[in-house]
Amino acid sequence: MQIGIIGSGSWATALAKILTDNGNTIHWWIRNTTTIGYIEKRKHNPHYLSSVYFDQTKLRLSDNIASVVSESDAIVIAVPSAYVIEALDLLPKGALQGKKIISAVKGILPSVNLLLNQYLLEQFAVPLSDYFAVLGPCHAEEVASEKLSYLSFSGLDVATVTSIAALFKTEYVNTVINTDVYGVQYAAVLKNIYALGAGIGHGLEYGDNFLSVYIANSADEMVRFLKKIAGTAENNANTPINYAASVYLGDLLVTCYSLYSRNRTFGNMIGKGYSVKAAKLELNMVAEGYNAAKCIYELNKSVQADMPIASTIYEILWEQLPAEHGFKKIEGFLI
């Protein structure tokens, strides 16, 4: 199987490492030709995970996204959610027909408030049967240092999901199979919001005891939303789901607690008094939870799940509610 990767950030670079370490040759779209030249010469990405060195015989680098897609049977989309549409706009409408799409996007596309599979169906006629999601808990930095990580692969057909997951299984990556395509994606969106909130709490100097209660309540709130949305989704809504599994609770925990978490870092800045604009400039990376807070707030107007924590995080980020006032509200919600 010929594999393509769209994107060149830290997560895309980590996935490129996993695939090439497993013996796969990849077609890799990188927008910046200078970066391509650097990788070809120096064998590592100068901007992200620079400690990772690649076997050049396994790389087919290109700044032409249409060419990468054309050469690939399966395409990993690993672009921050805010920039996915900009990248895909470079493709002709029929370019993705017959391709297996593997989403490594950890957010809703903010300009249209859709999951990637919904957007691909609308714009490129990609059916859900050809769509798969790969999610954590997994940090790019720990992949780079080859610390044991777990990746969950979700799709409607177990046999196909299993074959795709096998491409990524290495000595330092274990793979898990899942059929809850919508649920795992929304869980990935929500955990970024709650992790950003955990960072705000830390910045406001709440202690570990409070944060443990906050995260426990966030987990409960996430499940309420996922159960509501499951009834409207096209995937296997009637299949029993273990929401304590790694792709749900595990990813929430690591994103809330880990120092690698950019959402937690972004929130910590907000808690310490940074404006959203200043925090964006300081972080110089995409914190998916910022846009996700607004997307989920708008989506929940129709879903109608009880989500006071996520709603308050939205108010802090988008409606200028002072962080300390917002967390006083949250104190009253927690049980």
Q: Residue 329 burial (CB < 10 Å; 0-12/13-18/19+)? A: middle
Give the C-alpha separation, 306 to 225, whole Å.
Answer: 7
Instruction: For residue 47, give the DSSP letter.
Output: S
Q: Catalytic: 191?
A: yes
Residue 333 makes CB contacts below 8 A (sequence gap 6+) with 217, 308, 309, 312
Number of helices followed by number of strands (H, E) in the chain: 15, 8
Give the C-alpha separation, 262 to 190, whole Å.
Answer: 14
Q: What is the pLDDT of residue 107?
A: 86
CB 170 within 8 A of CB 148: no
Element of type H or E holding 132: strand 131-135
Give the C-alpha separation, 165 to 173, whole Å.
Answer: 10
Q: What is the pLDDT of residue 234?
A: 58
| pLDDT, tens digit only, all 335 positions of the chain | 999 999 999 999 999 999 999 999 999 999 999 999 999 999 999 999 999 999 999 999 999 999 999 999 999 999 999 999 999 999 999 999 999 999 999 889 999 999 999 999 999 999 999 999 999 899 999 999 999 999 999 999 999 999 999 999 999 999 999 999 999 999 999 999 999 999 999 999 999 999 999 999 999 999 999 999 876 555 555 678 999 999 999 999 999 999 899 999 999 999 999 999 999 889 877 789 999 999 999 999 999 999 999 999 999 999 999 999 999 999 999 99
CB 270 within 8 A of CB 203: yes
- Kindly list the structural domains of the chain, giving each domain's residue range(s) and its CATH number in brackets, ordered by start: 3-179 (3.40.50.720), 183-333 (1.10.1040.10)
Give the C-alpha separation, 126 to 200, whole Å.
Answer: 38
Q: What is the pLDDT of residue 284?
A: 79
Catalytic residue among 191, 280, 294, 301: 191
Q: What is the pLDDT of residue 232?
A: 58
CA dist 216 to 182, 281, 310, 334, Å?
Answer: 22, 31, 13, 9
Q: What is the pLDDT of residue 208?
A: 96
